[in-house]
Amino acid sequence: MSEAQSKEQLREQIIKLVAEYGALASVPKAFEPGVTVIPPAGKVVGAPEMELMVEASLDAWLTTGRFNDQFEARLAKLIGVDFLITVNSGSSANLVAFNTLTSPKLGARAIQQGDEVIGVAAGFPTTVNPIIQFG
C-alpha cells in the first residue's frame, strides 16, 4: 500500500468515526418542563457539520476554501443574486459594504470623498471606521 493510499484510508476512517460520534452527540434530549435548560443562544451542529469541520481541518484549510466557495454559490442561487461574498464578522461586513458604495462602477451614485454620511450616534467604532478610511 502506498503512502497516498494509506493517508486516504486513514482520512476515510476518521470521517467515518466523526460521523458516528456526530450521530450520537447530536441526539436531542427529551424536554422536561422546569428541568431542561433552554440556552438563550447556542450552536446547532450535527454529524454532517462535524464531518465537514474535520475534513477542512485535515485539509489544513481553516479559513475560506472549497466549503466556503460551495456555500457562497448555493446561497447566491437560493436568494437569486449574481454576486455574493461571506465575511467573518459584522465589522468586516461594514467595511465591504461601504467599500462597495464607493465603487466607480456606481458612477455618479458612488459615495465620493467629502460626501456627507450619516451614521448612528451610539454604535461600534467599526461602523465609523470604513467611512473615515474611504474619506
Domain ranges of the chain: 3-62, 90-133
Grid cell digits, residue 45: 451542529
Give the end-to-end CA distance of the chain in Å, rounded to a whole number. Answer: 61
Phi-psi region of 105 (alpha: psi -120 to 50; beta: other; left: phi over 0): alpha
| pLDDT at residue 35 greater than cutoff 70 | yes
pLDDT band at 12; cut points 50, 70, 90: very high
pTM reported for the whole predicted model:
0.63
